[in-house]
Copies of this chain bind each other. A is one copy, B any other.
Amino acid sequence: MIVVMKPDATGAQIEHMRQHITSLGMTPQVITGQHQTVIAALGEERAGLTEALEPGEGVEKVLPIMAPYKRASSELKRERTVVKALGFEVGGKKVAVIAGPCSVESEEQIVSIARKLKELGATALRGGAFKPRTSPYSFQGHKEKGLQMLAAARAETGLAIVTEVMAPEHVPMVAEYADVLQIGARNMQNYQLLQAVGDSGKPTLLKRGMSATIDEFLLAAEYILDRGNPNVILCERGIRTYEEHTRFTLPLATVPYLNDKSHLPVVVDPSHGTGKAKLVAPMSKASVAAGADGLIIEVHEDPEHAASDGAQTITPAAFGQLMAQCRRIAEAVDRTM
């Protein structure tokens, strides 16, 4: 940690900070520059240290040196993590494809589309039973009944089930039916939920919050890893910016950046990331080219009558074309799909 003193900091203020750093269990090293003094604080950069140093008299700013996450870091664990669940695998040579409707609407619907998706190459089935909705007046999902419909689709197709869990007290129930638990973007910093999912040990797909930094994203993963659950899949789903022509802005540089900083696999959600059906296929191709380990895509037989997210949902026919195009990209980056 580097404590930058103000140009007009007094000797007494510098000495005070030196002692304060020592009292916090770190070793201070004073560096006297031409214009101002900086003090390096050597030792373990524990959480909360910045906050303890910043209010000091004469302090201009405090610059952390080390990454705040540990278990998620590629420095701690060199080999890449491969998450597996019922034949579904993310992080290996094969690009994973999680597809399905935004909401589970009926058993008939979910079984029928699961069959088609499997045939077209999907490696897992997504579908919402618990739906986080911006408005209390929107459809909130079929809840446990929806989970049972998903289980029926799995029984029929063998596809692993990826579905969202929204509250700590629902984790046991959802974990009973699902193969992979999904934490939605709005819950990325719902720490009770992260801990509950960590305790469950279940493979977990963690979506990036819509305004989370990469450090915050990896610290959210850290909450799960810290409970002894190593099966975390990171999901970039777009961030909120000033752009208006897409629902969110999909920053694909996240993919190679995370591949460098972390050992966890990374999937991309081009459906939420763009909010526009027409942009899903090109951004899927771009994701695979950027090094994504998987895709998660909203598909519905009849987007116009989908219970939610119709505008960004593609048909099975469009999904088939997307798969054919992405397979060629996957080969061009020495992967399969």
Contacts and interface: CB of A to CB of B under 8 A. Distances in A.
Contacts of A276: 257
A309 B167 CA distance: 27
Nearest to A270: B253
B213 A243 contact: yes
Contact of A48 (B55, B167, B289, B308): B308
Contact of A34 (B42, B136, B239, B328): B42
B256 A278 contact: yes
A313 interface: yes
Contacts of A313: 55
Given A138-B48, A288-B289, A308-B48, A256 B240 contact: no
Copies in the complex: 4
Given A134-B219, A249-B251, A256 B242 contact: no
Given A134-B189, A190-B186, A243 B252 contact: no
Interface stretch (A62-70, A107-115, A118-126, A172-180): A62-70
Contact of A253 (B191, B239, B273): B273
A96 interface: no
Nearest to A249: B251
B134 A310 contact: no
A106 interface: no
A229 interface: no
A211 B211 contact: yes
Contacts of A63: 2, 63
Contacts of A77: none
Interface in A261-303: 273-274, 276-279, 282-283, 285-291, 303
A46 interface: yes
B243 A240 contact: no
A64 B277 CA distance: 20
Interface in A15-52: 20, 29, 31-36, 38, 40, 42-44, 46-48, 50-52
B167 A192 contact: yes
Contact of A332 (B43, B139, B250, B331): B331
A117 interface: no
Contact of A226 (B33, B136, B139, B223): B136
The 3 residue pairs across chains A and B that have the minimum distance between CB atoms: A211-B211, A54-B311, A289-B289
Given A47-B137, A239-B241, A332-B332, 17 more contacts: A2-B2, A20-B304, A29-B31, A31-B31, A33-B42, A33-B65, A47-B135, A52-B305, A55-B304, A68-B134, A134-B216, A135-B222, A246-B257, A250-B253, A256-B283, A285-B289, A286-B287
